[in-house]
Amino acid sequence: MLVAFMMVNFADKAILGLAADPIMKDFGLSATQYGAANSAFFLLFSIFGAVGGILADRVPPRWVLLGMILLWSVSQAPMALGAGVAMLFASRILLGAAEGPAFPIAQQTTLSWFPDHRRNLPSALITVGTTLGIVIAAPVLTWVVQQYGWRSAFGVVAVAGLLWAAVWAFVGKEGHHAVAADAIGTAAKPGPGTVGYRRILATRSWIGVTAAYASTYWMLALGLVWLPSYLHNGLGYSTTTSANLVAVIWAVNAVALLGQAGLTGWLLRRGVGSRWARARVGGITLLLAAVGCLALSGGQHGPVTVLLLVLGFGICGVMTSIAVTTVAELAPAERRGGSLGLMNAVATVAGLVGPILIGRLVDTQGLAGYRNAVVLSGVLLLLGGLATVTLVDPDRDRRRLAA
């Protein structure tokens, strides 16, 4: 159910990217204005991500998840029913606020069932839900847009959210920490010796994985908002081929996530420290993705370009799962939701800045704007990879927090 939850979450996010051209045409929006509409999604996303993560340390996440997805569906309805450009901005702001805590709370709920050395696969599966949402949404919603118009796509994701909520209301359960708190009718309360959030956020590991996650989230925003347009307008692929390539790239991301989970779990079970098993695996992956983006600056389409697209966009998502499991390893259980939410809040600022900045590049530089956006993305991935390799050592920082 939580994997399906994240699938709906990312199908919601993907609509504006998949329907970019018809929406811009119908509303007469420039690329900068359209980028602003996408950035509006992140206006409250980061703030509510932090608030929701802290709330999930005190309120059973089961009900928070249910309330969030009902708000998602409500926020999509106006666009499905014929609302104009002002409501486009308003609905994206509401959707962003409701979806802000989704990923950290889904991860917190999942990880509460598993000891640290078993968390890589369940964390990866939740993250795979984000990629499966795009893999399924890209061809399906593109077909819906072509056959029934872009407004119908908003209706489809709204109904999907309501269906999920109806099932979750009956089958949703808490992890063992939340069940224990709920059984006595009170939220878990920190004890007198609890480590404060400030100390957790000051660790080199939290700073390093947050920086790396921010570079990954920049790529996520670029992939959701501008990748279909880049493939179509920047590289010359047809709309259908662009949608299929988007699905392929996100499918590769899913495979990479599962491969990372298997490799990291194997290393941890053999006694390898998480500095290598998590941080170095994630950092090297980001560095390879950076090479792929920087090599894409030629701007020509063909087999080599497809391979570079897969390398640049298709593997960097493994850092999402690594960042989550690293913070979960580092933070005490009673501070885990807040630590994850605060990491998510900081990293997702990239989603606020990225779409509008890339839209500005496209407006002012034309096709060269797409190429420069990809080069900029490569530089950010390079910095994120270096931060992970040099700063992150969860074992070291966990010992310091416990001292």
SS (H, E, C) 21-62: HHHHHHHCCCHHHHHHHHHHCCCCHHHHHHHHHHHHCCCCHH
> How large is the C-alpha radius of gyration of the chain?
20
CATH code, residues 2-402: 1.20.1250.20
Longest Cα separation, the chain: 62
Confirm if 174 and 106 have CB atoms less than 8 A apart. no
User: What's the mean pLDDT in 382-388?
Assistant: 97
Residue with the two structure tokens 């839209």: 359
Predicted confidence band at 189 (pLDDT cuts at 50, 70, 90)? very low
Domain limits, the chain: 2-402
User: What's the mean pLDDT in 239-254?
Assistant: 89
- Mean residue pLDDT of the chain comes to 87
Task: Provide the residue type at 269 as one letter.
Answer: R
Q: Is residue 256 predicted with pLDDT exceeding 90?
A: yes
Task: Give pLDDT, residue 352.
Answer: 83
**Cβ burial, residue 155 (10 Å; 0-12/13-18/19+):** middle
Q: In whole angstroms, what is the distance from residue 91 CA to residue 37 CA?
A: 10
Confirm if 228 and 246 have CB atoms less than 8 A apart. yes
Q: Using one digit for the tens of pLDDT, what is the confidence trace for 42-74?
A: 888 878 878 877 777 777 888 889 999 999 999
Q: In whole angstroms, what is the distance from residue 10 CA to residue 190 CA?
A: 33
- pTM for this predicted structure: 0.78
Both tokens of 348, joined, read: 């997702």
Q: In whole angstroms, what is the distance from residue 317 CA to residue 124 CA?
A: 10
Q: Using one digit for the tens of pLDDT, what is the confidence trace for 271-305?
A: 999 999 999 999 999 999 999 999 987 656 678 99
Q: Is residue 2 predicted with pLDDT exceeding 50?
A: yes
**Count of Cβ atoms closer than 10 Å to residue 194 Cβ:** 12
Q: In whole angstroms, what is the distance from residue 273 CA to residue 268 CA?
A: 6
Long-range contacts of 357-362 (CB under 8 A, 24+ apart): 357/35, 358/35, 358/222, 358/225, 358/226, 359/30, 359/31, 359/32, 359/33, 359/34, 359/35, 359/36, 359/38, 359/226, 360/31, 360/32, 360/35, 362/31, 362/32, 362/35, 362/226
Q: In whole angstroms, what is the distance from residue 384 CA to residue 370 CA?
A: 21
Both tokens of 136, joined, read: 């399924």
Q: Which of 87-96, 192-201, 377-386 has the highest mean pLDDT?
A: 377-386
Q: Using one digit for the tens of pLDDT, what is the confidence trace for 79-99?
A: 999 889 999 999 999 998 899
Both tokens of 310, joined, read: 């897969």
Predicted confidence band at 187 (pLDDT cuts at 50, 70, 90)? very low
